[in-house]
Amino acid sequence: MQNVPETIWTAERCVYMDDQEILAQLPPRLLSWYAGSARVLPWREEPTPYRVWVSEIMLQQTRVEAVKPYYERFLNALPTVEALAQAPEELLLKLWEGLGYYNRVRNLQKGAQVVMERYGGKVPASFEELRSLPGVGDYTAGAVASIAFGIPVPAVDGNVLRVVSRVLSRRDNILDPKVKRRVEEEIRAILPSQAGDFNQSLMELGALICLPGGAPKCLLCPLREVCRGFAQGTAPELPVKTKPKPRRREERTLFLLFSPQGRAALQKRPETGLLAGLWELPAGEGTLSRQEAEKWLFAQGLEWERLEPGPKARHIFSHVQWEMTSWVVRVRGEIPGFVWASGEQLRRDYALPSAFKAYVPLLRENGTKEGPQEETS
Protein backbone atom coordinates (compact mmCIF):
# COMPACT_ATOMS: atom_id res chain seq x y z
CA MET A 1 0.00 0.00 0.00
CA GLN A 2 3.02 2.30 0.30
CA ASN A 3 2.66 3.54 -3.29
CA VAL A 4 -1.00 4.47 -2.84
CA PRO A 5 -1.64 8.15 -2.00
CA GLU A 6 -2.87 8.67 1.56
CA THR A 7 -6.14 10.29 0.48
CA ILE A 8 -7.07 7.27 -1.62
CA TRP A 9 -6.06 4.83 1.13
CA THR A 10 -8.18 6.55 3.77
CA ALA A 11 -11.09 6.98 1.36
CA GLU A 12 -11.01 3.24 0.66
CA ARG A 13 -10.88 2.52 4.39
CA CYS A 14 -14.10 4.45 5.07
CA VAL A 15 -16.01 1.88 3.01
CA TYR A 16 -15.46 -0.55 5.88
CA MET A 17 -16.32 1.91 8.68
CA ASP A 18 -19.84 1.89 10.12
CA ASP A 19 -22.11 4.92 9.86
CA GLN A 20 -21.46 6.12 13.42
CA GLU A 21 -17.69 6.02 12.94
CA ILE A 22 -17.94 8.10 9.79
CA LEU A 23 -20.38 10.61 11.27
CA ALA A 24 -18.13 11.07 14.31
CA GLN A 25 -15.46 12.40 11.94
CA LEU A 26 -17.66 15.25 10.72
CA PRO A 27 -17.48 17.79 13.59
CA PRO A 28 -13.69 18.21 13.82
CA ARG A 29 -13.17 18.22 10.05
CA LEU A 30 -16.04 20.58 9.26
CA LEU A 31 -15.40 23.02 12.10
CA SER A 32 -11.76 23.34 11.04
CA TRP A 33 -12.78 23.87 7.41
CA TYR A 34 -15.57 26.32 8.31
CA ALA A 35 -13.25 28.48 10.41
CA GLY A 36 -11.21 29.27 7.31
CA SER A 37 -13.79 29.00 4.53
CA ALA A 38 -17.07 30.45 5.79
CA ARG A 39 -18.54 33.18 3.62
CA VAL A 40 -18.92 36.66 5.05
CA LEU A 41 -22.68 37.17 5.16
CA PRO A 42 -24.58 40.07 6.76
CA TRP A 43 -26.62 37.86 9.10
CA ARG A 44 -23.45 36.20 10.39
CA GLU A 45 -21.83 39.47 11.39
CA GLU A 46 -24.27 40.05 14.24
CA PRO A 47 -26.23 36.81 14.80
CA THR A 48 -28.91 38.11 17.15
CA PRO A 49 -32.04 35.94 17.42
CA TYR A 50 -34.17 38.37 15.40
CA ARG A 51 -31.60 38.77 12.62
CA VAL A 52 -31.02 35.02 12.35
CA TRP A 53 -34.77 34.39 12.28
CA VAL A 54 -35.34 36.92 9.48
CA SER A 55 -32.43 35.54 7.44
CA GLU A 56 -33.57 31.93 7.76
CA ILE A 57 -37.09 32.78 6.59
CA MET A 58 -35.70 34.74 3.61
CA LEU A 59 -33.31 31.94 2.68
CA GLN A 60 -36.06 29.37 2.35
CA GLN A 61 -36.06 28.33 -1.33
CA THR A 62 -34.05 31.46 -2.23
CA ARG A 63 -30.36 31.84 -3.16
CA VAL A 64 -28.01 33.59 -0.74
CA GLU A 65 -26.91 36.22 -3.29
CA ALA A 66 -30.53 37.09 -4.04
CA VAL A 67 -31.34 37.47 -0.33
CA LYS A 68 -28.49 39.83 0.64
CA PRO A 69 -29.96 43.15 -0.61
CA TYR A 70 -33.44 42.23 0.60
CA TYR A 71 -32.13 41.35 4.05
CA GLU A 72 -30.30 44.63 4.50
CA ARG A 73 -33.25 46.67 3.23
CA PHE A 74 -35.67 44.75 5.46
CA LEU A 75 -33.53 45.20 8.58
CA ASN A 76 -33.04 48.89 7.87
CA ALA A 77 -36.80 49.39 7.64
CA LEU A 78 -37.79 46.97 10.41
CA PRO A 79 -34.81 46.66 12.78
CA THR A 80 -36.69 45.11 15.73
CA VAL A 81 -39.34 42.53 16.50
CA GLU A 82 -41.64 45.37 17.57
CA ALA A 83 -41.19 47.23 14.28
CA LEU A 84 -41.99 44.07 12.33
CA ALA A 85 -45.03 43.29 14.46
CA GLN A 86 -46.48 46.77 13.85
CA ALA A 87 -45.57 47.17 10.16
CA PRO A 88 -48.44 47.92 7.73
CA GLU A 89 -49.06 45.04 5.34
CA GLU A 90 -48.35 47.14 2.24
CA LEU A 91 -44.89 48.08 3.57
CA LEU A 92 -44.24 44.46 4.49
CA LEU A 93 -45.14 43.20 1.02
CA LYS A 94 -43.20 46.00 -0.68
CA LEU A 95 -40.05 45.08 1.27
CA TRP A 96 -40.55 41.45 0.22
CA GLU A 97 -41.39 42.23 -3.41
CA GLY A 98 -39.44 39.91 -5.71
CA LEU A 99 -38.60 37.26 -3.10
CA GLY A 100 -41.83 35.34 -3.73
CA TYR A 101 -43.61 32.94 -1.39
CA TYR A 102 -45.31 35.85 0.36
CA ASN A 103 -46.82 33.66 3.06
CA ARG A 104 -43.31 33.55 4.50
CA VAL A 105 -43.32 37.24 5.39
CA ARG A 106 -46.93 37.16 6.55
CA ASN A 107 -46.10 34.32 8.93
CA LEU A 108 -42.92 36.14 9.98
CA GLN A 109 -45.04 39.11 11.05
CA LYS A 110 -47.54 36.86 12.82
CA GLY A 111 -44.61 35.29 14.65
CA ALA A 112 -43.32 38.72 15.66
CA GLN A 113 -46.76 39.59 17.01
CA VAL A 114 -46.76 36.38 19.07
CA VAL A 115 -43.29 37.23 20.40
CA MET A 116 -44.54 40.68 21.44
CA GLU A 117 -47.68 39.34 23.12
CA ARG A 118 -46.26 36.20 24.70
CA TYR A 119 -42.58 36.93 25.31
CA GLY A 120 -42.43 40.70 25.75
CA GLY A 121 -40.65 41.26 22.45
CA LYS A 122 -37.76 38.86 23.14
CA VAL A 123 -37.35 35.92 20.75
CA PRO A 124 -37.71 32.81 22.95
CA ALA A 125 -34.51 30.87 23.73
CA SER A 126 -36.12 27.46 23.41
CA PHE A 127 -36.45 25.11 20.43
CA GLU A 128 -39.99 24.15 21.43
CA GLU A 129 -41.13 27.76 21.83
CA LEU A 130 -39.49 28.78 18.57
CA ARG A 131 -41.14 25.82 16.85
CA SER A 132 -44.55 27.05 18.05
CA LEU A 133 -44.26 30.35 16.15
CA PRO A 134 -46.19 30.72 12.88
CA GLY A 135 -44.16 29.68 9.85
CA VAL A 136 -41.35 28.13 11.92
CA GLY A 137 -40.61 24.45 11.29
CA ASP A 138 -38.02 22.09 12.74
CA TYR A 139 -35.20 23.40 10.55
CA THR A 140 -35.78 27.11 11.24
CA ALA A 141 -36.27 26.51 14.96
CA GLY A 142 -33.06 24.47 15.02
CA ALA A 143 -31.11 27.10 13.11
CA VAL A 144 -32.21 30.00 15.34
CA ALA A 145 -31.80 27.98 18.54
CA SER A 146 -28.30 26.77 17.68
CA ILE A 147 -26.88 29.84 15.93
CA ALA A 148 -28.37 32.59 18.09
CA PHE A 149 -28.55 30.79 21.46
CA GLY A 150 -25.97 27.98 21.18
CA ILE A 151 -28.59 25.33 21.97
CA PRO A 152 -27.41 21.86 20.85
CA VAL A 153 -30.16 20.98 18.38
CA PRO A 154 -29.83 19.91 14.72
CA ALA A 155 -30.85 22.09 11.78
CA VAL A 156 -31.37 19.74 8.86
CA ASP A 157 -32.21 21.21 5.45
CA GLY A 158 -31.73 19.96 1.90
CA ASN A 159 -28.01 20.75 1.99
CA VAL A 160 -27.51 18.62 5.10
CA LEU A 161 -29.56 15.73 3.72
CA ARG A 162 -27.47 15.78 0.54
CA VAL A 163 -24.17 15.80 2.45
CA VAL A 164 -25.18 12.92 4.73
CA SER A 165 -26.56 10.88 1.81
CA ARG A 166 -23.25 11.18 -0.02
CA VAL A 167 -20.95 10.72 2.97
CA LEU A 168 -22.76 7.49 3.90
CA SER A 169 -23.57 6.54 0.28
CA ARG A 170 -27.22 6.05 1.13
CA ARG A 171 -29.99 5.62 -1.40
CA ASP A 172 -32.86 6.49 0.92
CA ASN A 173 -35.37 8.94 -0.53
CA ILE A 174 -34.53 12.23 1.21
CA LEU A 175 -38.07 13.52 0.59
CA ASP A 176 -39.40 10.83 2.94
CA PRO A 177 -40.06 12.44 6.37
CA LYS A 178 -38.79 9.28 8.09
CA VAL A 179 -35.41 9.71 6.40
CA LYS A 180 -35.19 13.32 7.56
CA ARG A 181 -36.05 12.36 11.13
CA ARG A 182 -33.35 9.69 11.07
CA VAL A 183 -30.74 12.18 9.88
CA GLU A 184 -31.84 14.69 12.54
CA GLU A 185 -31.24 12.12 15.26
CA GLU A 186 -27.86 11.14 13.78
CA ILE A 187 -26.76 14.78 13.70
CA ARG A 188 -28.07 15.31 17.23
CA ALA A 189 -25.85 12.45 18.43
CA ILE A 190 -22.65 14.10 17.10
CA LEU A 191 -23.34 17.77 17.88
CA PRO A 192 -20.27 19.46 19.39
CA SER A 193 -20.39 22.31 21.88
CA GLN A 194 -20.25 24.77 18.95
CA ALA A 195 -23.60 23.52 17.66
CA GLY A 196 -24.39 26.69 15.70
CA ASP A 197 -21.08 26.70 13.84
CA PHE A 198 -21.37 22.98 13.14
CA ASN A 199 -24.89 23.31 11.73
CA GLN A 200 -23.73 26.20 9.57
CA SER A 201 -20.67 24.26 8.43
CA LEU A 202 -22.86 21.42 7.17
CA MET A 203 -25.08 23.86 5.29
CA GLU A 204 -22.05 25.76 3.97
CA LEU A 205 -20.48 22.57 2.67
CA GLY A 206 -23.69 21.75 0.82
CA ALA A 207 -23.86 25.25 -0.63
CA LEU A 208 -20.21 25.57 -1.73
CA ILE A 209 -18.71 22.09 -2.19
CA CYS A 210 -21.22 19.23 -2.01
CA LEU A 211 -23.31 20.80 -4.75
CA PRO A 212 -26.61 19.45 -6.09
CA GLY A 213 -27.28 18.34 -9.63
CA GLY A 214 -24.53 15.72 -9.79
CA ALA A 215 -21.73 18.28 -9.52
CA PRO A 216 -19.97 17.83 -6.15
CA LYS A 217 -16.46 19.32 -5.88
CA CYS A 218 -15.10 16.21 -4.15
CA LEU A 219 -11.41 17.06 -4.52
CA LEU A 220 -11.96 20.26 -2.54
CA CYS A 221 -14.06 18.62 0.17
CA PRO A 222 -12.77 18.37 3.75
CA LEU A 223 -14.78 15.14 4.14
CA ARG A 224 -13.42 13.30 1.10
CA GLU A 225 -11.24 11.02 3.26
CA VAL A 226 -14.27 9.76 5.18
CA CYS A 227 -16.84 9.89 2.37
CA ARG A 228 -18.18 6.59 1.05
CA GLY A 229 -19.77 8.38 -1.89
CA PHE A 230 -16.33 9.67 -2.94
CA ALA A 231 -14.63 6.31 -2.38
CA GLN A 232 -17.28 4.37 -4.29
CA GLY A 233 -17.83 6.98 -7.00
CA THR A 234 -21.53 7.29 -6.13
CA ALA A 235 -21.56 10.91 -4.91
CA PRO A 236 -22.72 12.45 -8.22
CA GLU A 237 -25.76 10.11 -8.27
CA LEU A 238 -26.89 11.04 -4.78
CA PRO A 239 -29.11 11.96 -3.06
CA VAL A 240 -32.14 9.99 -4.20
CA LYS A 241 -35.36 11.96 -4.56
CA THR A 242 -38.72 10.79 -5.76
CA LYS A 243 -39.62 12.49 -8.99
CA PRO A 244 -42.03 15.37 -8.42
CA LYS A 245 -45.43 15.27 -10.03
CA PRO A 246 -45.61 17.17 -13.32
CA ARG A 247 -46.58 20.82 -12.84
CA ARG A 248 -50.10 21.74 -13.75
CA ARG A 249 -50.16 24.11 -16.75
CA GLU A 250 -52.55 27.06 -16.69
CA GLU A 251 -53.17 29.56 -19.46
CA ARG A 252 -54.07 33.10 -18.45
CA THR A 253 -54.74 36.30 -20.34
CA LEU A 254 -53.68 39.46 -18.51
CA PHE A 255 -55.24 42.85 -19.14
CA LEU A 256 -52.99 45.91 -18.83
CA LEU A 257 -55.70 48.51 -18.41
CA PHE A 258 -54.67 52.17 -18.64
CA SER A 259 -57.04 55.03 -17.89
CA PRO A 260 -57.04 58.46 -19.59
CA GLN A 261 -55.13 59.74 -16.53
CA GLY A 262 -52.36 57.20 -17.24
CA ARG A 263 -53.12 55.02 -14.24
CA ALA A 264 -53.03 51.21 -14.39
CA ALA A 265 -55.67 48.86 -12.98
CA LEU A 266 -54.81 46.39 -10.23
CA GLN A 267 -56.90 44.02 -8.17
CA LYS A 268 -56.35 41.81 -5.15
CA ARG A 269 -56.31 38.04 -5.35
CA PRO A 270 -58.51 35.97 -3.00
CA GLU A 271 -57.36 35.64 0.60
CA THR A 272 -56.73 31.92 0.17
CA GLY A 273 -54.83 29.90 -2.43
CA LEU A 274 -51.94 30.82 -4.71
CA LEU A 275 -50.53 34.36 -4.11
CA ALA A 276 -53.26 34.85 -1.51
CA GLY A 277 -54.24 38.47 -0.90
CA LEU A 278 -51.58 39.94 -3.18
CA TRP A 279 -51.97 42.52 -5.93
CA GLU A 280 -52.26 41.26 -9.49
CA LEU A 281 -53.15 42.37 -12.98
CA PRO A 282 -56.75 41.71 -14.00
CA ALA A 283 -56.90 38.42 -15.90
CA GLY A 284 -59.15 36.01 -17.70
CA GLU A 285 -58.77 32.24 -17.79
CA GLY A 286 -57.31 30.68 -20.93
CA THR A 287 -55.71 32.33 -23.96
CA LEU A 288 -58.29 34.86 -25.12
CA SER A 289 -58.65 35.94 -28.74
CA ARG A 290 -59.46 39.56 -29.57
CA GLN A 291 -63.16 38.76 -29.70
CA GLU A 292 -62.98 36.93 -26.35
CA ALA A 293 -60.97 39.79 -24.85
CA GLU A 294 -63.65 42.26 -25.95
CA LYS A 295 -66.30 40.10 -24.29
CA TRP A 296 -64.25 40.06 -21.08
CA LEU A 297 -63.90 43.86 -21.12
CA PHE A 298 -67.60 44.29 -21.76
CA ALA A 299 -68.42 41.95 -18.84
CA GLN A 300 -66.35 44.18 -16.52
CA GLY A 301 -68.31 47.24 -17.61
CA LEU A 302 -65.31 48.78 -19.40
CA GLU A 303 -65.34 50.90 -22.55
CA TRP A 304 -62.11 51.21 -24.51
CA GLU A 305 -60.48 53.23 -27.23
CA ARG A 306 -57.62 50.92 -28.11
CA LEU A 307 -56.97 47.20 -27.71
CA GLU A 308 -53.55 45.85 -28.68
CA PRO A 309 -51.72 42.56 -28.11
CA GLY A 310 -49.20 42.73 -25.27
CA PRO A 311 -46.19 40.65 -24.20
CA LYS A 312 -46.24 36.95 -23.44
CA ALA A 313 -44.60 35.52 -20.34
CA ARG A 314 -44.19 32.32 -18.36
CA HIS A 315 -43.91 31.89 -14.61
CA ILE A 316 -43.17 28.61 -12.86
CA PHE A 317 -44.39 27.96 -9.32
CA SER A 318 -43.54 24.80 -7.39
CA HIS A 319 -46.68 22.98 -8.56
CA VAL A 320 -48.15 25.03 -11.39
CA GLN A 321 -46.90 26.81 -14.49
CA TRP A 322 -48.58 29.94 -15.81
CA GLU A 323 -48.50 30.61 -19.55
CA MET A 324 -49.51 34.24 -19.92
CA THR A 325 -50.60 36.31 -22.88
CA SER A 326 -51.82 39.88 -22.55
CA TRP A 327 -53.82 42.72 -24.03
CA VAL A 328 -52.89 46.38 -23.58
CA VAL A 329 -56.08 48.39 -23.29
CA ARG A 330 -56.70 52.14 -23.26
CA VAL A 331 -60.01 52.48 -21.43
CA ARG A 332 -62.26 55.52 -21.53
CA GLY A 333 -62.63 55.89 -17.78
CA GLU A 334 -61.77 54.46 -14.39
CA ILE A 335 -64.51 52.27 -12.97
CA PRO A 336 -65.01 50.82 -9.46
CA GLY A 337 -63.84 47.29 -8.82
CA PHE A 338 -60.18 48.01 -9.52
CA VAL A 339 -57.44 50.04 -7.87
CA TRP A 340 -56.05 52.60 -10.34
CA ALA A 341 -52.40 53.35 -9.60
CA SER A 342 -49.96 55.82 -11.14
CA GLY A 343 -46.47 54.80 -12.21
CA GLU A 344 -45.03 56.37 -9.07
CA GLN A 345 -47.54 54.56 -6.87
CA LEU A 346 -46.65 51.27 -8.57
CA ARG A 347 -42.99 51.86 -7.74
CA ARG A 348 -43.61 53.05 -4.20
CA ASP A 349 -46.72 51.42 -2.77
CA TYR A 350 -47.80 48.27 -4.57
CA ALA A 351 -45.93 44.99 -4.38
CA LEU A 352 -46.60 42.93 -7.48
CA PRO A 353 -45.51 39.28 -7.23
CA SER A 354 -42.57 38.23 -9.40
CA ALA A 355 -45.03 36.29 -11.58
CA PHE A 356 -45.82 39.66 -13.22
CA LYS A 357 -42.27 41.04 -13.46
CA ALA A 358 -42.28 40.87 -17.27
CA TYR A 359 -45.12 43.41 -17.27
CA VAL A 360 -43.84 45.86 -14.65
CA PRO A 361 -41.71 47.95 -17.07
CA LEU A 362 -44.71 48.39 -19.37
CA LEU A 363 -46.92 49.41 -16.46
CA ARG A 364 -44.44 51.98 -15.23
CA GLU A 365 -43.66 53.26 -18.72
CA ASN A 366 -47.32 53.87 -19.49
CA GLY A 367 -48.23 55.17 -16.04
CA THR A 368 -48.00 58.81 -15.05
CA LYS A 369 -45.23 59.87 -12.69
CA GLU A 370 -47.75 60.85 -10.07
CA GLY A 371 -51.47 60.79 -9.69
CA PRO A 372 -54.25 61.47 -7.23
CA GLN A 373 -55.27 58.88 -4.65
CA GLU A 374 -56.35 55.70 -6.35
CA GLU A 375 -60.00 54.70 -6.30
CA THR A 376 -61.33 51.42 -4.94
CA SER A 377 -64.69 49.83 -5.08
Give the active site residues. 56
The upper half-sphere exposure of residue 237, i.e. CA atoms within 13 Å in the direction of its Cβ, equals 11
b/e per residue 278-293 (b: at least 16 CB within 10 A): bbbbbbbeeebeeeeb
**313 DSSP β-pair partners:** 324
Q: Please, which residues have CB within 8 angstroms of residue 144's CB and are 6 or more apart in sequence?
A: 49, 52, 53, 56, 123, 130, 136
In angstroms, the CA 338 to CA 377 distance is: 7
In angstroms, the CA 165 to CA 214 distance is: 13
- For residue 192, whether the previous peptide bond is cis, meaning omega lies within 30 degrees of 0, is no
Inter-CA distances, 55 with 8, 41, 95, 151, 336, Å: 39, 10, 14, 18, 40
For residue 16, give the amino acid letter: Y
> Counting beta carbons within 10 angstroms of the beta carbon of residue 139, is it exposed (0 to 12), middle (13 to 18) or buried (19 or more)?
buried
